[in-house]
Amino acid sequence: MIQCSVYKKLNPGGPTPYLEINLQIDAQENIGILGPSGAGKTTLLKILAGLITPDSGKLKVNDNLWFDSDRNINRPPQQRDIGFVFQDYALFPNMNVQENLEFAFSGDVNRHRLHEILEMLDITSIANQKPATLSGGQKQRVGLGRALIRQPQLLLLDEPLSALDPEMRTKLRHDLLRVSSNFDGIMILVSHDPAEIVQLTDRAITLHQGKIAQTGNPAELIYSQPAQNMKPGVVKVIDILFDKNILVVTSHHGLIHIPYDPDKNPDIRIGTTISLRVTSKNYQHKL
């Protein structure tokens, strides 16, 4: 369980002058964090990790105090039981894949756990390669493996799939789903992708100007929100489920899943705006 009540002054003259969070997370709960750029999402992750120190407040993980301003307690990152996957993966360029994973152990290398992670993430074949030779998807798997290898209490994911192309992002989302289902700790995922939040988390939180604006079931919270300034009949593609030939679009009424033929519509990409016309009660559509 996590009990977090923290305050951090950010930019007094900006859109998010401070971060003020009061949040409780249950054991083995997966949390998704949404919000516009600059809302404080990454700052919150870094506070949990000990990379940013709050001005005041308290952070308690299970029975351990990680931060308490009144008692002058502030555990450094290396004393917090966390795994952190950054947007750029932050792999050591001079180390190969196996060495990057081994570095995550604070003491002796657990060979059984090392090989378990290599096999689970299907990266055994690239164990001797260095990051410069890896694809984006392979780097993502290595970064995730390094975060998981010590079986942390808290797994922090800061837009881990944002740098990937849509097809690879869809594939690795399934990998993350498989990994998270076998993870015994708490996972917190920051993402701008509604599909990631819905698929991977138990509860969604929306941050706005450094505060929690909404919280609830991911599907209900996200799918029920209409797109702002979107005209009826016009939709915007926010995700493509390539394995199912499904477009996820945001519309005046909320999120909609639309079947499509990639051969007939090869130019559709994430961000494409299209017109949608319902022609019968059988939900025939025209793109």
Query: How confident is the model at residue 226, as a pLDDT?
Result: 53
State pTM to two decimals: 0.76
Q: Are residues 136 and 45 in the same domain?
A: yes
Percent of the chain surpassing pLDDT 70 = 89
Place of tokens 């808290």: 154
Number of folded domains that form the chain: 2
Mean pLDDT score, 129-153: 89
Model confidence over 67-88: pLDDT tens digits? 999 999 999 998 999 999 887 7
Query: How confident is the model at residue 172, as a pLDDT?
Result: 75
Model confidence over 204-247: pLDDT tens digits? 999 999 999 999 988 877 766 555 555 666 777 777 777 678 88
The vertex-172 CA angle with 168 and 178, nearest 5°, equals: 160
What's 130's domain CATH number?
3.40.50.300
**What are 33's strand-pairing partners?**
190, 205
Q: Are residues 239 and 219 in the same domain?
A: no
Task: Judge contact between 140 and 179, C-beta under 8 A.
Answer: no
Model confidence over 83-137: pLDDT tens digits? 998 877 788 999 999 999 998 887 788 899 999 889 888 899 999 999 999 988 8
Range of the domain at 277: 234-286
Mean pLDDT score, 39-68: 95
Q: Which two tokens stand for residue 143?
A: 């970064």
Q: What are phi and psi of 67, to 5 degrees?
A: -150, 135
Q: Where are the alpha helices (DSSP H) in the chain?
A: 41-49, 97-103, 111-120, 136-148, 166-181, 194-200, 218-223
Q: Are residues 219 and 240 in the same domain?
A: no
